[in-house]
Structure formats: C-alpha cells, structure tokens
Structure 1
C-alpha cells in the first residue's frame, strides 16, 4: 500500500504558466522526493501598462511517503 501526501505551493514565471509549473516542480524536487503528480489549482497574472509581466500558479504536488 502506498501513502501519498499533498502540499500546496506557489510559483511564478515571466514566460508562461507552464514554465512556472516546471520551475515549481524542479524546485520542490530538491527537498521532496517521489513526486507523483501536480495539479494546477489556480492561475493568475500580473499586469503593468496593459502588458502581462508575470504568470503565477497555485499548485498541489502529490508525492509518495516512504
């Protein structure tokens, strides 16, 4: 039987929501092992002078507990 845990994290990128998600998983994997999946809970963006300046994601990362 596997035991899974879910944590919630926030990340941002100046390129895209996908890039923010990839950065979040890469950074989380430095301290969290056995990541199984990521769920994008929410997306938002910052705007300055009518231009998108930053993409933000709120993620839920699921990983297996040893």
Structure 2
C-alpha cells in the first residue's frame, strides 16, 4: 500500500485560470517528484475597475510519500 501526500499550491496567471493551474503544477514539479494527480480546489481572480487583471488557481497536488 502506498501513502500519498497532498499539498496545496497557488498558481497565478495574467491570461486564464487554466494557465494559473498549469503554472501551479509546473512550479510544484520542480521540487516534487512523481506527481500522480491534481485537483483544482478553487478559482479566484483579482479585479480592477470592473475587469479581471489576474487569475489564481488553488491546486491540490498528490504524490507518493517516500520511505528512505
């Protein structure tokens, strides 16, 4: 049986929520090995003068716990 660790990562983008989620996974994968899955927990945005100026995605990243 494998234990899985889950962490939350916040990605940001000026383009879209999808890009923000992708950024979160790309950044997490630089320091986390063997990411097995992600779940987008929340989509939020910054708004100025009635327009969205920044997109944010809170992503849960799942990866196996290592026993070294």
Normalised TM-score (structure 2): 0.89
Normalised TM-score (structure 1): 0.91
- The runs of at least 4 consecutive aligned structure 1 residues that moved more than 2 Å come to none
Q: Quote the RMSD (CA, aligned, Å).
A: 0.9
The CA distance in 1 between the partners of 2:41 and 2:51, in whole Å, is 24
Unaligned runs of 5+ in 1: none
Report how many aligned residue pairs link the two structures. 66
Structure 1 or 2: larger strand share? 1
Other-structure match for 2:42: 42
- 1:1-66 mapped onto 2 (5 Å cutoff): 1-66=1-66
Unaligned runs of 5+ in 2: none
